[in-house]
Amino acid sequence: MNTAPPLAALKPLFATAWHDAGARTDGTALCEALLAAYAELQRHYHSTQHLAECLQGFEAVRHLAQQPAEVALALWFHDAVYDVQRHDNEAQSAAWARQALTSAGAQPDVAERVYELVMATQHTSAPAAGDAALLVDIDLSILGTDAQRFAQYEQQIRNEYAFVPEDVFRSKRKEVLLSFANRPRIYGTEHFYAALEARARANLARAVGSPRRPSDSTAPHGLR
């Protein structure tokens, strides 16, 4: 099973990204607020574990980013607001990122790019290229993790939707997983395609059976 870095190791990563993005405050209080958000009790998958795994994954591919600080901050914010009863979590998270950067004196174009990166994690379509594609691949790297972590991930998603009846959950969850399995490519970047595509398809096949592969598919909102 993948092991994420301890929370204490995450704070310097935030400080570096915050500074490199041009923010003029130290960001300490904001970092604490973000960590508190990811530690909310209703979270099981979209938690500090997921944040840490994403940041750990990014550090390994930082050299592929056009604007590394912006990608890092987008990862910090991408699930900052998470309520399974809402359908605007990404929009709320993106707005928080943009507001925080703007208030800290970052350039408007930086704040806007981070906003757009966070919005890309809605997974309604595959990003064309660049930092958005890299960010989305990092977010979806859980699909290509080892079998033990993937099983844990599936249980964590079920726990987040514990209020949903089992038959409804199974149907909707299968729909979400098939939306990824049916894509011509799950991962947009060559790095993640080479590293994780085959294992992601094996995980998805075990979860839902062997899916068809049409020319395009997008992920329905929720249960992901």
CA-to-CA distance for 171 and 167, rounded, in angstroms? 6
Phi first, then psi, for residue 183 (nearest 5°) are -75, 145
The mean-pLDDT minimum among 36-45, 71-80, 120-129 falls in 120-129
Instruction: Read off the pLDDT of each residue in 1-15 and give the average, rounded to a whole number.
Output: 79
pLDDT at position 94 over 50: yes
Instruction: Read off the pLDDT of each residue in 3-19 and give the average, rounded to a whole number.
Output: 87
* pLDDT confidence of residue 124: 78
Q: How many CA atoms lie within 13 A of 103 on its CB side?
A: 9
User: What predicted TM-score, i.e. pTM, was given to this entire model?
Assistant: 0.90
CA-to-CA distance for 166 and 182, rounded, in angstroms? 24
| Collapsed DSSP state (helix, strand, coil) of residue 213 | coil
Average pLDDT, the chain: 91
* pLDDT confidence of residue 219: 44
pLDDT per position as a tens digit, 106-140: 999 999 999 999 999 988 776 668 999 999 999 99
> Which amino acid makes up residue 41?
L
Nearest to 98 by CA among 88, 108, 89: 108
Task: Measure Cα distances from 3 to 44, 55, 196 in Å.
Answer: 16, 12, 17
How many other C-beta atoms are found inside a 10 Å radius of the C-beta of residue 1?
10
Burial per residue of 18-54, b for 16 or more beta-carbon CB atoms within 10 angstroms, e otherwise: beebbbeeebeebbeebbebbeeeebbbbbbbbbbbb
